[in-house]
Structure 1
């Protein structure tokens, strides 16, 4: 009998790995950084024990004889393709040493290949008898069970970055953007909540401490109210964008010899850099005048004598861009004498306020205020506005400390003079949420130590709260999901697993109360709560997080189509919506409890009029891109977002548009599977389909040099270019899988528009500028043959293939969802649970919501 090492209780540990166990304690961290003293009082209260290598009943580590028989199997049926002379997929089975018998991933791949009878392949010279294959499966299965039991119990599940951010914001009522400040999640495989990859290094822990410190200082202020300062701009503070003498037929901005001022005309914006010392809310009151002017296309503007009036009598729009940079616009066709309006958040509704008081907005030290008038029309007199100065006063507070959600929730009845007991009571309420379970008296004493130190130094309750919050955010009880030492989860751990699965955040009060009452082990209660939670707005987090990772959508955040194919104005129309379309489609399948089959092909789409600019679906509105002053195909300028952003709606497809159903034709997927937005790439598209629908992740051998795919030309098509890659036998094993799947999508261009002919990329810009039409060259040939010999053509042909293979997609999807729900990589021991879930899903026609209900209500959901 052999046992793994048993670790004693340790001071807070930063890193855990299956191979080396705990690697460094908090005392070691403190030696590196005195800032980490606050973490020293926390201990992991459970002993992490690796179970014995004894596996499940009936299973034992494979013997030398078992390994010898397995090696004979490999020599007889596998080494012709996986031996010394040829090693397909860089895999050799002619000699498997003891170390490789400890590689669970390798053994499971072999097990799956033998179980599915994919290996040896049909064309192989020899095939094993059933009893030979079954004997190998038994040997591999026993070893896999041993390995799974060996590594499973010691797993600690740290919060992922998105879970950390959501938890902090939900507890404190904030809207912090923390992802860029936190260490990257190590995603080698699966999802970013995979516990196998979420380790902490010493450097990571110091980063978490710094983030915790900033959160505590932002949530609870122990400083006096900042001094109010008035900034008044000068002419020298005002700058304008340069623009052409003739902008869309209009004359340039006006100039007056008598006054060295710049008028805000088309293609002109005025920037003011107030350089405020303290971030906060500021009141801004613009002052100036306008003149009445006549635009004469192609010539200088004819200026009339100005009728000076206060700009406050006009309409000015205030729209934050990227959270800070401000833009002020004169609304089109707005008359003088109306009140000023402001938008306080992107896409928010218009709000009126008294023009004599100006308006308020949040500013930081590096923010720039941008003023632009946008009331131009062709012909007739115009009001040309000039901003002489702007008075900026602040920071402005209704009260101090500010009545943030934290103060109104936790500190409503206290003031700065409150003592240690009031501080302890607030920290106890916070600890319940941050730790996601009841807190013992001993733990509260640990937390309170830091607050007491602040009181001992004569500081206020706010300093004490800061210290306590900082300590809790650095505690393993917050950073890790507490699932106990046994195989079964307790009630509060079940509540947390449900909430982090469906909300990416902590449980709400309803789940906490059910946990306190001991009701969450009842599958009926969990099912009821799942239905309730899916109706909550927080379920949108689950939809976006799961879809972005399942379909690998991160690339959409950085890729854009070539401007000669799809202009900046056109892409501005749809850039945000192509990122949201797959999420909205997923949400519709979930809320309507539709079959997973809809991801392959559906009778509907989820679109907006803006997206319909790409899709051109008959009978539905089509939005047009705005031609903004000063914009070009190459580089955008600051612009005012649309006042009204269209909502996604479900649109039933007619016969002529049925090819648009499902995920395959969505603009985002077509764009991210291109060569930098310049031309389509069947390699990328095929690999994405293979990964997303078949669950087959292709890996390029490290020592293989791959030539880049060339764009189509007048003399060479994409298919001809691809043939060259297949000549390399090392490449062919992957290309025969993915190429047909990508070639079938060649009727979609880089942004997902339908095309029947290719365009020579090198001649695209000139052709489009000359006649507005794409240069038509070789016709698109989307005919291809699946690796198993089935011939098909185009997107609909690919969908038919996927529908024929839908069981593979369903199996892959169910496995992904179960891994995401359990927040860990599935092991061989999960195969029974996976088979059960697959059977339950089949009984309900693989309806998405029913799959989630089956997972949460299952007994295995309540186990580690």
Structure 2
């Protein structure tokens, strides 16, 4: 037992003894048994509560500063010592497998394919906030079955011996679209039902020599059905169009792929008013889809009249004029595709002519594999593939089981391709491929290369990383820094931004709730996409320019495109591209707290909750997650009538002392964010379904109000230390006083994400070292990432 009993007897056991047991804690009977996890965690909790000054409580006499330091030191040494001994024997990180995203990316890079795969695999279980943590990445029988299924799908996509697809490269006009042509050519007033005089035909489009003007959002009318996609692959899509009758305002057009079961957004662009714009993008199509163009905020004029009631000839509302669409693909620079060589090795091919035609699954083959020495080709191919798949050189005879499996197939009369498939399938489902190989102590050069690559690209090491590992140079600090910098500059690092930020800030929960359409009629798909993209772009901007981490609290700029700028009421922004926009003095925006993405994931679809938002700030920004509420405390029912404010409803949750002790820390950040609604719009009044005046707001020139102005918002509050704020601007200034804590919390999140293990008690000093080094060099985000990679936590198991 560490020498802490005198301190506990003087300051703690009055409330935490066998008689009182406040909070269920009896310190008089608590032994020191760190090998018992529950006991260890209890002592860590005691350490933290005393270290933060939360215990003894404020109403009790405070311990002398020297006594407190002595107590904490006496407790810290054995707790840290125990964990460090465990780490020395077993490492911080458990044996970790690739998560779904890493598996898909790795197979894509390994085989040179783009076939979606992660949807085949079961969902991963996040731990400590991330799906890269080993504790949540366990194996099950179902996963093994799904890995086999995914491996077969990947090999089918890679081993392509068919003839080069004829493909398409054609410009299409909506003037030739059958449904549109029929609508235009049928005389107005023609009865579809001669017994019903109200069934007269309405012409829904206008036609000129160069274009068709559309005033409807109905996909069934604007689907490009005349374009038949020949097969799966990457396609280049170009279009020309402009906004029509919008009083000079642009409109955003969306391009979807639709197979009648699923409609998925491929891309979108802003079309200027009255002047055509050409827009180009590439996207993967699965061969069963057709292309659909759609546009919101058309089909109704200023008087509220619908296109269906007025007809195109008389309609004065907005529309889109489409000149043409071009589709080219599948795009392939070589045939057979490079994936064939990546899977099977450099095996000679024989091109089949008409007389030698062979078929597979009813489709003609264009090529035949023709290895000169089948067995040697199998052995060479599988050894090479296994080394790349395992992300290190093979040990002696390590490839033997896979070669034997393929050789047995040859002996049974199967051909070269089928034998190779068996061996490749076994490699893609082997532990050496699915698991990251790390041993206790300092990581090997190849393990460092893999950890760095999966940290910053969510995929396997590239050739340059593997060369640095092979030479051992990657273990040198300067080389490791150079490789880190290279990856950060690579387009592949977009995976780090998406996957880390999406989990650190919970952006993956953007679809967890659907805003009430009556209260929030302006919410649409483009706004949702813009929410997430803004936060990712903001993180990227800080990372690219090494801006201080304090920008996450408050910044003088935002990353905006036209749709999000409109939502934030920032004028003068056009175009779908996100760019850095300076914020005016006094703006409530700036920093991630006021990002619409964060404000949406911390609210439900109807009302905001200061508790949810305050807990989010404590957990994700300050790294101090509050304890869960007692089971006896109920939730708050949303009040869409506008009779009471959320502040009034929360009062009862702070009546008891046990609730107040937590809510004094949780609620203030949430109150500061009350100036923002459930979709991140700035507000001075709540929205109501029943009470108040009609809202006066327009979007894209259309009146959109369906809700009423409710009670006024009060965004003021008082921190636990007594400091007060009147709104979000004041609160962010107070929070800047805790930017060191934000830096430490972010360092811990990066280490957790990058190493696959949560932060343990013994890791705290290392986290402090990372934060202090970063702070000494200006607190830049890029500096922080480098400090994480160079730390012993990252370079050891």
- TM-score tier (shorter): 0.7 to 0.9
Cα distance in 2 between the residues matched to 1:175 and 1:82: 60
1:653 aligns with 583
- Structure 2 counterpart of 1:134: 70
Distance in 2, matches of 1:334 and 1:662, equals 33
- Where does 1:14-29 land on structure 2 (aligned, <5 Å)? none
Structure 1's unaligned 5+ residue stretches are: 1-62, 229-237, 284-315, 349-360, 383-394, 623-644
1:834 alignment partner in structure 2: 767
Question: In the superposition, relative to structure 1, how do residues 200 and 573 fare at CA in structure 2: closer, same or farther (>3 Å)?
Answer: closer
SS at match of 1:744: helix
In the alignment, structure 1 residue 706 sits paired with structure 2 residue 661 = no
CA distance in 2, matches of 1:412, 1:726: 71
Is the Cα contact below 8 Å between 2:672 and 2:727 reproduced in 1? yes
Query: Which residue number corresponds to residue 555 of structure 2?
Result: 602
2:787 aligned residue = 854
- With 201-210 and 428-437 compared, the bigger mean Cα shift is at 201-210
Contact 1:565 1:765 in 2 (8 A): no
Residues of 2 paired with 1:725 and 1:552: CA distance? 26
Q: Does 1:525 align with 2:475?
A: no
Aligned to 1:197: 136
Identify the match of residue 500 of structure 2 among 546, 553, 577: 546
Corresponding residue for 1:805? 738
Give the Cα separation in 2 of the matches to 1:253 and 1:470: 62
Instruction: Give the Å deviation of 1:509.
Output: 0.5
TM-score normalised by the chain length of structure 2: 0.76
Alignment match, 1:788: 721
Matches for 1:490-569 after TM superposition, within 5 Å: 490-567=444-521
Alignment partner, residue 669 of structure 1: 598
Once the two structures are TM-superposed, the CA of residue 91 in structure 1 deviates from its matched residue by 5.2
SS state of the match for residue 538, structure 1? Answer: helix
Give 1:280 shift: 4.7
Distance 1:401 1:654, change over 3 A: closer
DSSP 3-state at the match of 2:404:
helix
Partner secondary structure for residue 451 of structure 2: helix
Cα distance in 2 between the residues matched to 1:483 and 1:273: 52
Change (3 A) 1:325 1:557: closer
Q: 2: CA distance between counterparts of 1:691 and 1:252?
A: 63
Distance in 2 (CA, whole Å) between partners of 1:771 and 1:546 is 36
Matched, 1:863 2:786: no
Supply the distance in 2 between the matched residues of 1:464 and 1:837 (Cα, whole angstroms).
51
Report what 1:616 is aligned to. Answer: 569
Alignment correspondent of 1:296 = none
Offset from partner CA, 1:330-356 (integer Å, 9 cap, x none): x99999xx9xx997745x9xxxxxxxx
What's the secondary structure of 1:787's corresponding residue?
coil
**Matching of residues 226-625 of structure 1 within 5 Å:** 255=192, 267=216, 269=220, 280=232, 319-321=256-258, 345=282, 362-364=286-288, 378-379=312-313, 403=337, 405-407=339-341, 411=345, 413-415=347-349, 416-418=369-371, 419-484=374-439, 486-567=440-521, 570-618=523-571, 620-621=572-573
Alpha-carbon distance in structure 2 between the residues aligned to 1:497 and 1:253: 69
How far apart are 1:606 and its partner, in Å? 0.5
How many angstroms does 1:586 deviate by? 0.3
Which residue does the alignment assign to 1:821? 754
Q: Which moved more, 1:261-270 or 1:685-694?
A: 261-270
1:327 touches 1:370 (CA, 8 Å); kept in 2? no
State whether structure 2 residue 56 is matched by structure 1 residue 120: yes
> Which has the higher mean CA deviation after the structures are superposed, 755-764 or 588-597?
755-764
The answer (yes or no) to whether the contact 2:599–2:680 under 8 Å persists in 1 is yes
Gaps in structure 2 of 5+ consecutive residues: 168-176, 195-199, 206-214, 236-252, 300-306, 317-328, 350-368, 698-702
- Alpha-carbon shift at residue 856 of structure 1 (Å): 2.1
Cα separation, 1, equivalents of 2:659 and 2:669: 16
Structure 2 residue 642 is the aligned partner of structure 1 residue 720: no
- How far apart are the structure 2 equivalents of 1:85 and 1:177? 61
Q: CA deviation at 1:102?
A: 2.0
Q: Secondary structure at the match of 1:122?
A: coil
Q: Is the 8 A contact 1:768 1:774 kept in 2?
A: no
- In structure 1, what is the Cα distance between the partners aligned to 2:342 and 2:35? 59
**1:789 CA drift (Å):** 1.0
209, 225, 233: which is aligned to 2:148? 209
The residue aligned with 1:742 is 670
Residue 149 in structure 1 maps to residue 85 in structure 2: yes
Q: Residue 145 of structure 1 contacts residue 828 of structure 1 at CA under 8 Å; is this kept in 2? A: no
Describe the superposition over 1:282-338 as per-residue Cα deviations: whole angstroms up to 9, x where unpaired. 99xxxxxxxxxxxxxxxxxxxxxxxxxxxxxxxx99852599759999x99999xx9
Offset, 1:467 = 1.3
Contact 1:318 1:342 in 2 (8 A): no
Aligned to 1:358: none
Partner of 1:385: none
Higher alpha-carbon deviation: 539-548 or 120-129: 120-129
Contact 1:614–1:753 (8 Å) recurs in 2? yes
Query: Larger deviation: 780-789 or 461-470?
Result: 461-470
- In 2, the alpha carbon distance for the partners of 1:282 and 1:164 equals 21
Q: Measure, in 1, the Cα distance between the counterparts of 2:149 and 2:71.
A: 56
Task: Name the CA shift for 1:611/1:767 in 2 (closer, same or farther; >3 Å).
Answer: closer
Aligned-partner Cα distance in 1 for 2:489–2:142: 40
Specify the alignment match of 1:691 in structure 2: 619
Contact 1:209 1:474 in 2 (8 A): yes
**TM-aligned CA deviation for residue 201 of structure 1:** 2.9
* Contact kept? 1:589, 1:595, Cα under 8 Å: yes
Aligned-partner SS, 1:664: helix
Per the TM alignment, residue 578 of structure 1 is displaced from its structure 2 partner at its CA by 0.6
CA shift for structure 1 position 82: 4.9
Aligned partners of 1:196 and 1:825 also within 8 Å: no
Given the alignment, which residue of 140, 151, 174 partners 2:113? 174
Change (3 A) 1:651 1:92: farther
Preserved CA contact (<8 Å) 1:254 1:262: no
Q: Is the 8 A contact 1:253 1:263 kept in 2?
A: no
Change (3 A) 1:94 1:223: farther
Q: Is the 8 A contact 1:523 1:858 kept in 2?
A: no
Local SS of the residue matching 1:566: coil
1:760 maps to 2:688: yes
Aligned-residue offset at 1:164:
1.4
Contact (CA 8 Å) 2:18, 2:29: kept in 1 or not?
no
Shift, 1:701, TM fit: 4.4
Counterpart residue number, 1:77: 11
How much has 1:161 moved relative to structure 2?
Answer: 2.0
Q: Secondary structure at the match of 1:813?
A: helix
- 1:108 touches 1:144 (CA, 8 Å); kept in 2? no
| Secondary structure of the structure 2 residue equivalent to 1:655 | coil
- Matches of 2:721 and 2:654, distance apart in 1: 16
Deviations 1:762-791 (A, max 9, x none): 458976799948633422111111112111
Taking only aligned residues, the RMSD between alpha carbons, in angstroms, comes to 4.5
Q: Secondary structure at the match of 2:78?
A: helix
1:797-842 deviation per Cα after TM superposition (whole angstroms, max 9, x unaligned): 1101211122221221122222222221232332332232122111
Deviation of the 1:527 alpha carbon: 0.8
SS of structure 1 residue aligned to 2:399:
helix
Shift of the 173–760 alpha-carbon distance from structure 1 to 2, 3 Å rule, reads: same
**Counterpart for residue 25 of structure 1:** none
Counterpart of 1:185 in structure 2 is 124
